[in-house]
A and B are shown apart, each in its own frame.
Chain A
Amino acid sequence: GENVEQHPSTLSVQEGDSAVIKCTYSDSASNYFPWYKQELGKRPQLIIDIRSNVGEKKDQRIAVTLNKTAKHFSLHITETQPEDSAVYFCAAPNPGGKLIFGQGTELSVKP
């Protein structure tokens, strides 16, 4: 089955700096990798996803990179702002429709 490891568990950056969160997965057949942002007391919300036919995807200040050979994918947030503070989860699916989440990264952006 799929296993997803996420690092770091906590990340503190200064406003304006970049933040990088990394995930590794085990199932080489996985080909869809979403990232969710969850603010305190709110639902997880998809912020970006990538499929295995591309190596990078960008949406304004957020980008995701995928290395299928190494089985890892990363979330990059540039020019961080205090409202980026949240818990971020990576995920990967296994056959049968089960989305396996990483353990989460608590990002704190200090003004």
Chain B
Amino acid sequence: DTEVTQTPKHLVMGMTNKKSLKCEQHMGHRAMYWYKQKAKKPPELMFVYSYEKLSINESVPSRFSPECPNSSLLNLHLHALQPEDSALYLCASSQVAEYPNTEAFFGQGTRLTVV
């Protein structure tokens, strides 16, 4: 199984809502990532979890809260988002996060619209 599965595929939420994005992989990977991607731009790293511990937070606003319940699951909790947070949110995983990196597998993403 070389899949990274993300749910939901699409999400529309109001600025006062609380929602969560979910990501799952069963490849035994110990590094998991959240990226944000705007149209025709490269993915921007938000968070890195290595062995279930948060290792990188790219100065992401606190309205985004990551969680790694176990080595296969990664969540991104959303609260009080702004319209400019509308984007494609991509989860990825790789064998390890230590340099040098190995192949990162991306999920199909959650298309988030904040209204």
Identify the A interface with B (CB < 8 A): 29-32, 34, 36, 42-46, 49, 51, 87, 89, 93-99, 101-104, 106
Q: Give CA–CA (A97, B55) in the complex, Å.
A: 9
Q: Which of B56, B94, B106 is the one whose CB lies under 8 Å from A45?
A: B106
Whether the Cβ atoms of B41 and A99 lie closer than 8 Å is: no
- Shortest distance between the CB of B35 and any CB in chain A (Å): 9
List 12 A–B pairs whose Cβ atoms lie within 8 Å, in order of A's numbering. A31-B100, A42-B108, A43-B107, A43-B108, A44-B43, A46-B105, A51-B100, A93-B101, A97-B56, A97-B96, A97-B97, A101-B42
Whether the Cβ atoms of A103 and B41 lie closer than 8 Å is: yes
Residues of chain A lying within 8 A (CB to CB) of residue B107: 43
Whether the Cβ atoms of B45 and A44 lie closer than 8 Å is: no
Q: Give CA–CA (A18, B88) in the complex, Å.
A: 31
- Shortest distance between the CB of A1 and any CB in chain B (Å): 12
- Shortest distance between the CB of A64 and any CB in chain B (Å): 14
Whether the Cβ atoms of A32 and B43 lie closer than 8 Å is: no
Whether the Cβ atoms of B106 and A96 lie closer than 8 Å is: no
Q: Which of A42, A46, A95, A101 is the one whose CB lies under 8 Å from B43?
A: A101
Whether the Cβ atoms of A32 and B100 lie closer than 8 Å is: yes
Interface centre among B55, B94, B104, B108 (most CB of A within 10 A): B104
Residues of chain B lying within 8 A (CB to CB) of residue A95: 99
